[in-house]
Amino acid sequence: TAEEGQCVERENLWVADLPAGPSLSVRAWRPADRMRARADGPARRVKRFFGDAQVPGPRRAGWPVVLVDGEIVWIPGIRRSSAASERSGRPVVRYACERNQGGFPSS
């Protein structure tokens, strides 16, 4: 959560308003992962989103991805899909993510 009195900006890629109803899970990204940035667009490899954001390979290890109903909708700090965008009238829950150096354990 944001500290009291601190405004969370819509452009902040470390914050996402996600649908309140569906199941949500977080895991480390995998090399074959894909995300559809727009509902009508093609699914792109998460690796390409990292490249676009100029995140070097060694820093990607353990980077989280957020899934709603098994589909990646948010790569914190990198990109949100249209499924993770604000739409008026839709109930949402605001999530904030912080990157730490430890990441997720490899399994």
Q: Report the first-to-last Cα separation within the chain, whole angstroms.
A: 28
pLDDT digits (tens, 9 = 90+) for 45-74: 999 999 999 999 888 988 999 998 889 999
Is pLDDT of 103 > 60? no
For residue 8 the two structure tokens come to: 């969370």
Q: Which residues pair with 26 in a beta bridge?
A: 66
Q: Model confidence over 15-27: pLDDT tens digits?
A: 888 877 768 889 9
DSSP-derived secondary structure for the chain: -PPTT----TT-TTEEEEESSS-EEEEE--TT-EEESSTTSPEEEHHHHHHHTT--HHHHTT-EEEEETTEEEEETTTEE-GGGS--TTS-EEEEE----SS-PPP-
What pLDDT score was predicted for residue 67? 92
pLDDT on residue 106: 52
Q: What is the pLDDT of residue 2?
A: 41
